[in-house]
Structures are given as C-alpha cells and as structure tokens.
Chains A and B, each alone.
Chain A
Amino acid sequence: MTVPAIELIGISKAFGPVQANKDISIRVMPGTIHGIIGENGAGKSTLMSILYGFYKADSGEVFIHGKKARITDSHSAIAAGIGMVFQHFKLVDNFTVLENVILGAEDGAPLRPSLAKARRILTELEREYELHVDPDALISDLGVGKQQRVEILKALYRQAEVLILDEPTGVLTPSEADQLFRILARLREEGKTIIFITHKLREIMEITDTVSVMRRGEMTATVRTEDTSPEQLAELMVGRKVLLRVTKTPARPGPPVLAVEDLRVTDSTGVERLKGVSFTVHAGEVLGIAGVTGNGQSELLEVLGGMQLATGLISLHGQPLDISGKYANGRARRNDGIGHVPEDRQRRGLILEFTAWENMAFGYHHDPAYQTNRLLMNNAAMRRDTAAQMGRFDVRPPDPDLLARNFSGGNQQKLVVAREIERNPDVLLIGQPTRGVDIGAIEFIHQQIIALRDMGKAILLVSVELDEIMALSDRIAVMCDGQIMGERLPDASDETELGLMMAGVKGKAA
C-alpha cells in the first residue's frame, strides 16, 4: 500500500472558547485531488493554515510521505514540499512574473543568476504542466486567471509536491475555471497531490477523487467522490436536508418600475466603466445581471444606490431621479423606495465595529421613529426593532448588542437583508446576495428574495454566481466590459451561451 502524501492525525485547534478544529484526521494519497468542503467557519482554512505553518495545532500530528513533520512556519512547510495558493493572491503588482516567482527564494544578493535560473525552470514547468505565462509580463497587466497560474508556478518553483488551493475559483469566469481544472488534472497526472478547498458542490463533483466534509470544526465524513452526490454532501455540510433548487412560481410582471437609459460612468482614472447601459425592471420580477467580477456591475449598483455619479437617465415609476447631485444621495434613494443590499457587506453594508442594533438603523437613521426629540436618538427603539427583525430573519445569535464583526458571514448578510427588506422598498438592489454565506443561509436568503418578488416588488439581482442567477432570475441580462451583451430568459438559455456572453461574445438576438 502506498504511503499517504499527507496524513493528519487528531488535529485540534482552539481560538479562545471557539474550537475551530476538533480531533481531525485525514489521509491524502499521492497523485490525487482531495476536496475539502464545508460552510464558512467550518474550519477548513484553519486546518490548512495549520498544515502551512500559520497556526500551531493545540494537539495532533502531521505526517508527510510517512515521516512525522514539525511544521512551525511557512518556511518549514515549503521545505516539506507544501505549496499554498491563497484565495487572495500574494503577488507584487508592479513586479514581473519572474520577479514574483523568485521573491523570497532568491539564491543570493545578486538577482541576475536567480532570475536566469528561474527563467530556465519556468520554461520547463511550462512545458511539463502546460502553464503558459509570459515570464516578463507585469502582474498588473495579467488577468486573474493568469495571476493564479503565477501563484501555482511559485509553488512549483519551490518544488511543492502537495498543492493547497483555497477557494481558487471564486474570482474566475467559468472558462477560466475550466482551464484551472485542466491544469489541476495535468498536475495530478504528473504525480502531484492537490488539496482543493471550496464551498461549491459542483466543483467537488467535477474535479476531486476524494472529498472530506467539515462542519463546525469537525470532519463529518470522507468519501470517494464517485460514491456520493451533491445532495448527500450538502446534507453532510449543513447537518440537515437542504433544498438546492429554489422553488418558485412563474413571475407575473406588472408595470415597469425602474428604468435605466444610456447610463455611463467614467472613473477617476478616465476609464469608462459603464458604456451606455439600458434596461427596465418590472414590478414582481427579478432581473438578474450576470457577468464576471469587474465588468461594470459594481459601478451599476453604486450609481443606482446613489454612491456614484453618472450620466444618463434613471427613472422610478416614470419619474427621473437626480443622479447629478454633488455627493452621496443614498439617503434620497432610500426615501424614493430603493433598498440596496450591497455587494460587499463588510465594507459597505455594515459597520463591523457597530453593534447589530446600530447597524439595523444604518442608512435609515433619519427615521423619525428613531429620534427621541430633535437632538437625541432613540436607542431603545432601535434595539427593540432590531430584536424583532433578528427574530423574523432568524439571525443567530439574536443579540442586538453584539458587534456586527462577531456574527458569521451568513448572519451578517441576514442582518443586511433584513434591514433592507423590512423597509418594504419598491425596488431592491441586491448584489452578490450569498457571497461567503453558508448553504443554510443561502436557502433562506433566496426564499426571501422570491417572497419579495411575489409581493410585487422589482428586484435587480447582480451576482457572479451563474447558478444563482439562473435559479432566481425571471430575466437575465449579461454584462461584459461595461455593456449589456444581451437579455435572455433562463429557460431559453444555458450556461454555455451565458458564459460566452460573459466573455464578450455577442449573443444572437433573443
């Protein structure tokens, strides 16, 4: 029997009272792709950080190729042949690929010999694994997919035998993800061992040989991928049966509510981010905007939410909105009945250092119900409302005095969604509603969106998750490079066509 490439025995790690990893044992055979799946906060990243030497386990042992290893920091991890590709790349933007590859692995003070050696090795690696990147290109000129390859090259250059990839597809288009999967398959053929961390069931099914499921710091199961199903994995992750499909009735669209015509935005560097976007959202329907991150969706939401200036026309119930104001008019938008669940809840939607009740009034703090008199705010009223909303949206723990920072990602998102939906807006803008949100909460948030639609509200959904767009939308508009490439009905299109449109190929007229 072959010796496992990586074997963890009885790993435990606690952060104060939180037990992040409980007695975890795992064996990864060489030349396989081993998936680790679990909700946010299940302990996947902690486990990998222990393996990579960022954290020290409270107890447990690590064996690498059968030998007991003492990994105290990332240097010893690299020396033991472990490479890590982080979710957020650790690259120097104004360095070339070559310079990034040798960074921290230079042979001596003069750079020239190291660079020459790296160039030679890089060419070999390129040939061996079909990892094509121009070694002299600046990182800032490369797309995310290419940047990720540089990260993989960095690990291979350090002679990694075991590669850990943490949520690697989060930033990729479907086709870039396919390319990554081809590279991973190739690495497996060459005998490398890959640990693949994700929360996406589809990727686990597609690429892995074995999969371990984590829940609340414990490893609930390790199974061969071919012996399992997405439904079973989801149940193992959440601990109960989960609806993977959203159940909804066909939309009954009413009159147009939000209309956008020829919206244009130029950013501070003079680059045009929105190049004449037009669409209409009707009452009682969900318009989904699909597209890869950074193609103008964020700017679109910012303009509609009153955070950014634009030219063009936005009208609500046929009345044009003022979009030429001098500064933020997020307040005016809310008064007009536009609710907004922003893409980035931690940066925009919440103040992490505020308590839940302070966050529940956020953006609506001018509400007369929250004023005791002309001078003072009515904190008691805010606390009371928050407690009620937390109950209705099943926010856990239901403690209005807890800081937003201390809620899990899913519960933070529930706070934001609750705040915006409870205001009963005519239009709800919702960006990446389930990014970094666990499966249980995804189900709940999707139900809330559909319920709001069925109340006759107009919903604009922006998401980079094509599955989510397909599941929720009544119509789909695809954005690429600041333009709408076309509109499709979810039943009359498929991922291939939408993927092509996301990559900039104009679809045939609908």
Chain B
Amino acid sequence: MQKMPAWADAVLVPLISLLLAAILSALVIIGIGENPVAAFRLMVDGALMRSAGWGYTLYYATNFMFTGLAVAVAFHARMFNIGGEGQAMLGGLGVALACLYIPWPHWSVSLIGTTLAAMLFGAAWALIPAWLQAKRGSHIVITTIMFNFIAATLLNYLLVNVLRPKGAMDPATARFPEATNLPTFRDMFSTADNVLFRGTPANVSFFIAVLACVLVWLLIWRTRLGYEIRAFGRSEPAALYAGISPARITMIALMISGALAGLMAVNTTQGEAERLILNSTEGAGFIGIAVALMGRSHPLGVFLAAILFGFLYQGGAELALWTTIPRELIIVIQALVILFTGALDNMVRMPLERLFLALRRKES
C-alpha cells in the first residue's frame, strides 16, 4: 500500500521542509534586527536576477552536482561516503598534474584528459577505504572521513614542498598553460554588444555535470551494475543469495562515487582557479551529502538541489556583501536548510502521510 502519492513524496516533502527552514531563517534575521523580506529579495536579486548572479550560482551548483551524485551513488549501495572532500582534493591533484605536465594542443582535448585524471585520482582515493570496508569490514564512515584529513595534509605537503614554483609565496601550483583554460559562460554566451556572465566562474564543466546526472541515472536504473548496486544496498543477504559479490559491489560503487567527487576539480581547479590551490574544495564535499539527501539520491533531484544550494551560496555571499547580516548567519541559514531537508525529513513526512491517509479514507 502506497502511503502517499509519489509526487507528494518527491515534491511536497522537500518544498514544505524548505518553507519551514525559510520561516526559521526569517525569524533569525528578524532577531538580529534585519528585514527578512528585504534580505530574501537581495538573495534572489543577487543570485538569480542577473546573468552575473547565475554565473556564480551555476558555478557552485556544478560542484554540488558532482559531490551530490557521488554521495547518491554510494547511498544506492547503502554506503555513506563522507569522503567527497578528500576525493575532490585528490581529483584536483590529478587535474593539476595533467594540466602541468602534458602539453595539450587545445582545451577540448585537455578537458578529456583532465576529466579522466580527476576521475582516476578521485576513485583511487576512494579505493583504499573501499577495500578496507570490503575485505576488513572497516566502516567507511570512519575511513573516508579520515582520508579527508590525509588528503588535506598530503596536498598541503605537495603544494608547499613539491609543486610550488620556485620563489612563489603561496602554496599553489604554477598557473596552468593557456591551452588548458576552459571556456567560461561569458566566452560561450556573450555577443559583441551584449556581455553576459561578466566576471563569473561558471564554465563548460557545468555541462559535464549535467551529463554526469544523465549517466548516473542510466547507470542506476538501466544497467545490470546499477541493478546489482541497488539490490546490494537494499539487502546484503539477498544480494549474496543472488550471487552478487558484496565485496565487488562495495569496491565498484565507492570508486564510482570517488570518481564523481573527483570530477568536481575540473570545475574548480581547471575551470576557475586555473591552478591548484590549497582547500580548493571549500566544503563542497560535505554539501554533497545534503544535496543527495534532499534530492532523494535521484539524479534529477540532485540536479535541482544542487542549483538550490548554489543559489544559497551565491545569495548568501550577496547578503554578506550588502547588509550587516554577518557571514556566519548565512551558514546558519544553509545549515537550517540541511537540517530540515536532510535530518528532519520524517518530521514533515509523517504528518503528510497521515494527512493523505485521512484524505483517502474520506474519499472511499
């Protein structure tokens, strides 16, 4: 028996959660003596009403799509990959090495190379926790979070001691060669007399993220591997019965997850910074968890949730810039959204289910 219609589960629950988060945020903003309506207007204005705003919103959304998909794929195998952050950092290393040491003739060719490098490095960083989980039973929640720290320290070492050009003051690699610079939205969509997306970092990797959403959908719902991942995620004893190797699925699912997280570096490192800097991930690996939760681990949901979080990021930056609302409060608002859409899901879902049951009883 279906408790409530699918549309309510997919649309109504997240919308009501969002509304609750918005109301609570508004109360907080009133509490510090600002006008929530004006603040919201400012966020929308800054993030969605001009192409420059969209240029940032979509740039952030690209990151969140990759990390959100990464978490979602692992969720389908009932694994909690909190290592997106570390896997994305290592993806950045892969992108940097590919850009710096391979003489690419054109950005399009380099993009293929860096995409592969990012996936390879991200997957490799997920491989060790995956192997430990599959063979030794070490819980990946513990190991992947540890690997975030290891990744940060490793990158710190490499950037300070190995990859930093002689004489440079900051821990970062040299600028990538011109031929690897990706076209930004400004390059792609502006005409001679109408400049769009001025000065914004959104670039061609957004389309790779969209493509990744489609491919993940195909993988999960249309391929045998996806079928096995979902079966394993729903019942390990049943998977064993069906001849699906738990160790194999654990390894493969986590490596796909790591590869997706690694892909984020194409956007940040090659697309935006054009060199590898410290902490290039800026917590996007963790936001991916919220994005996957809110998107119900479905690629379309992840796509929409990523854009929402992109909006929150960009709108939040606008608030910090134009009002006295401190930056910390933006994080409070984002946290409220995560809390309501992710952690407090049942608080909204259960009353709704009861409501739908009552409605249906009245009909019958």
Contact = CB atoms under 8 A, between A and B. Distances in A.
Interface of A: 14-18, 305-307, 327-334, 340, 342, 344, 347-354, 358, 361-363, 365-366, 371, 375-377, 379, 406
Contacts of A347: 235, 237-238
**Band of interface residues on B:** 20 to 34
Contacts of B3: 16
Contact of B243 (A14, A334, A351): A334
Contacts of B248: 327
B238 A351 contact: yes
Nearest to A333: B243
12 contacts: A15-B357, A17-B364, A327-B246, A328-B240, A330-B243, A331-B243, A340-B241, A349-B238, A351-B235, A354-B230, A363-B242, A376-B222
B1 A377 contact: no
Interface in B216-245: 218, 222-224, 227-228, 230-231, 234-235, 237-245
B243 A377 contact: no
B84 to A, nearest CB: 25
A330 B1 contact: no
Contacts of A328: 239-240, 243-246
A351 B247 contact: no
Contacts of B1: 15-18, 406
B205 to A, nearest CB: 24
Contacts of B360: 16-17
A377 B227 contact: yes
A362 B244 CA distance: 10
B244 A14 contact: no
A486 B42 CA distance: 83
A379 B222 contact: yes
B234 A330 contact: no
A307 B242 CA distance: 9
B130 to A, nearest CB: 15
B223 A365 contact: no
A334 B244 CA distance: 12
A423 to B, nearest CB: 13
A376 B223 contact: yes
A401 to B, nearest CB: 11
Interface string B1-26: 11100000000000000000000000
A363 B243 contact: yes
A367 to B, nearest CB: 10
A376 B218 contact: yes
Contact of B224 (A16, A18, A348, A366): A366
A15 B357 CA distance: 8
Nearest to A306: B243
A327 B246 CA distance: 8
Contacts of A375: 223
B136 interface: no
A328 B239 CA distance: 9
Contacts of A352: 234-235
A354 B244 contact: no
Given A329-B243, A331-B242, A406-B1, 18 more contacts: A16-B360, A18-B1, A305-B241, A307-B240, A327-B247, A328-B244, A330-B240, A340-B241, A344-B237, A348-B238, A351-B238, A352-B234, A354-B230, A354-B231, A361-B227, A366-B224, A376-B218, A379-B222
A328 B231 CA distance: 15
B166 interface: no
Given A16-B360, A353-B234, A406-B1, A327 B241 contact: no
Contact of B234 (A18, A305, A351, A363): A351
Nearest to B227: A365
Given A327-B247, A363-B242, A365-B228, A16 B222 contact: no
Q: Which of B218, B224, B243 gathers the greatest number of chain A CB atoms within 10 Å?
A: B243
Given A331-B243, A348-B238, A358 B227 contact: yes
Contacts of B2: 406
Task: Please name the 8 residue pairs, one residue from A and one from B, whose CB atoms are nearest each other, closest first.
Answer: A331-B243, A330-B243, A363-B242, A348-B241, A327-B245, A16-B357, A351-B234, A328-B240
A344 B237 CA distance: 10
B306 to A, nearest CB: 25
A192 to B, nearest CB: 37
Contacts of B242: 330-331, 362-363, 365
